[in-house]
Amino acid sequence: MKLYFEAERFLKQNDKASGSLQSRVFNDKRLTSSPKHVFALVYSTIKFKDYIDQIIKKSKVKQEIARGKVRISDELLRLLIHDLLFSPRGRIESGKHPIKDAFLANKTRLQAEFIKLKLKYKVKAVSELPTKDSSEDETPVRWFRINTIKIDKDRFFKKHPFFAKLQPVNTIAELTSPGFIYSDDYIPHLYGIHPKEKLSAQEAYKLGEVIIQDRASCFPAHILNQDPNDVHKQVMDACSAPGNKTTHAAAYLPQGEDSVVFATERDAKRVAILRTMCEKATGKNRKRLVQITHKDFTTINPEDFPDVTGLIVDPSCSGSGIFGRAMDENSEESKSDSTIDQERLRKLASFQFVIMKHALSFPGARKVVYSTCSIHAEENERVVIDLLLDEQIRNQGWTLASRDKVIPEWPRRGIESEFVKMSRDEQVCRDLAGGCVRANPKEDGGIGFFAACFVKREAIDEYAKNNGAADNGKVCDNGKDNNETSEDWQGFDN
């Protein structure tokens, strides 16, 4: 019954806790059952809650169980009914237990009510039952990227007719039903299809030739690598599991024996997931392309990694950009819980600051991309501002990259008004916000997200000079010509 007792805890918390169900389950250190299994069970029980409650009421199962002097919470009962009637397997997953026995003594009456329910809604299968919140939790677009470590684009479409047969469309708004494919305008090798498309059933998915990854989650590795004048052979992913950004960063590595992504993760269970994901994505090249370390990133000595020039820092966050629980600032829930939320956000922000400050201390680092799947400025622009105002970080030469080096065409940038803390000059605020990108949940085709790109301009200029900069005369990442000095870019001094 352990699975059900653990799931019961998340179901009980669901209306009160902040952060997405997914992040709460996957970040829970006490969990001993598979997080994937717990998440699927709780998620699906919430989805069918109204129907399950009808069955509880009609069957009088609660009273029957109580008559046998067995105590069972409403949440536990819902979970058991879910698995007996609403799950494809149709059985309770556990060994002998008095609660299970008391529950199963009511199996016939529960099944009878379930049949009546299906007749009432004129459906033959659970999947046909209308669920009012299913669209709320569903991504508007299913994003996947071709894993170029294993296969190039041309071979991919030749090898996999399922994808080749999809009809190309120009915008995500046109993905109105299965059968269409959108090639992303912002991230190379990234595609969007309708969420009902059976992607995980495809051979390409099983072979690791496609990786399901939300669009905005692909921003960090792309931002790190999009400048042809700033190539990174050794990259550090500070907070890696489950490994989406790690494997994406590995796909950008230049050819060469010494090209590698060092992936750090402090949670033992998540290291195992990271290892599996990296093995699937890189095959026999795993040990060469991705080196995994099970450690707290802040205990890693930066001096041991003198050749790391680029870092991705995607630390734990509130997860408020993930749907289902994307918090509406004006909602009653967020108002009543505002004190708790503020305290939680404050703690998260100070943890995020510490991780980032450590990342910025790597001696060879020229570029560090910070990201969260949070929509809160506290974890995003405000962390960035605190870092930019930190004396040690300023003295190390870190600034924010300019928009032309941070997916320039992507329209949604950082919140300009947040940067007034740094300058009252509107243009400066706009430039600083331009060094950040944001994605709004759903509206931008996926999860809510934030990324900011920190650069050491002089180090990048130096690298570009020594490695034959592209001859466009622009090596400063502020997009200005070389004869303008870094003093032309101010904004952190007000």
- Answer yes or no: is 408 a known binding residue: no
Tell which one of 191, 297, 362, 450 touches ligand SAM (CB under 6 A). Answer: 297
Q: Which is nearer to ligand SAM, 213 or 478 (CB)?
A: 213
315 binds ligand SAM (CB under 6 A): yes
Which part of the chain contacts ligand SAM (CB under 6 A), choosing from 60-68, 290-298, 459-467, 469-477?
290-298
DSSP strand pairing (449-456 vs 398-400): antiparallel
Q: Name the minimum Å distance from CB 143 to ligand SAM.
A: 13
Binding mask 351-370 for ligand SAM (x = CB under 6 A): ----x---------------
Using the structure block, give the residue that is written with the tokens 């994406």. Answer: 248
The answer to whether 244 is annotated as binding is yes
Q: Is 265 annotated as ligand-binding?
A: yes
Does the annotation list 245 as a binding residue?
yes
Any binding-site annotation on 243?
yes
Size of the site for ligand SAM (CB under 6 A): 20
106 versus 217: smaller Cβ distance to ligand SAM: 217
Contacts of 245 (CB under 8 A, 6+ apart): 217, 220, 221, 237, 312, 314, 371
Shortest Cβ distance from residue 157 to ligand SAM (Å)?
Answer: 26
Question: Which C-beta is closer to ligand SAM: that of 45 or that of 372?
Answer: 372
- Which residues, 220 to 279, sit near ligand SAM by CB under 6 A? 239-245, 264-267, 270
Q: Which of 324, 341, 423 is nearest to 377 (CA)?
A: 341
- Residue nearer to ligand SAM on the CB measure, 102 or 281: 281
**CA-CA-CA-CA torsion sign (386, 387, 389, 392):** positive
Work out which of 209, 230, 314, 381 binds ligand SAM, going by CB under 6 A. 314
Contact partners, residue 207, CB within 8 Å, separation at least 6: 150
Q: Mask of contacts with ligand SAM, 2-41, x by CB under 6 A?
A: ----------------------------------------
Which residue number, 235 or 460, has a Cβ lying nearer to ligand SAM?
235
Residue 246 CB, nearest distance to ligand SAM (Å)? 7
Rounded Cα distance between 408 and 400, Å, is 14
Interface with ligand SAM by CB under 6 A: which range of 12-20, 190-198, 291-299, 405-413? 291-299
Query: Of 151 and 447, which CB lies nearer to ligand SAM in the complex structure?
Result: 447
239 is in an annotated binding site: yes
Q: How far is the CB of 298 from ligand SAM (least distance, A)?
A: 5
- Pick one of 296, 329, 343, 426: the residue that binds ligand SAM (CB under 6 A): 296
Asked whether residue 314 is marked as a ligand-binding residue, the answer is yes
The Cα–Cα gap between 352 and 355 comes to 5
Q: Give the residue at shortest CB distance from ligand SAM.
A: 239
Is 195 annotated in some ligand binding site?
A: no
Active site residues: 373
CB of 275 to ligand SAM, least distance (A): 13
Summarize as ranges the residues that interact with ligand SAM (CB under 6 A). 217, 239-245, 264-267, 270, 296-298, 314-316, 355
Binding residues for S-adenosyl-L-methionine: 239-245, 265, 296, 314
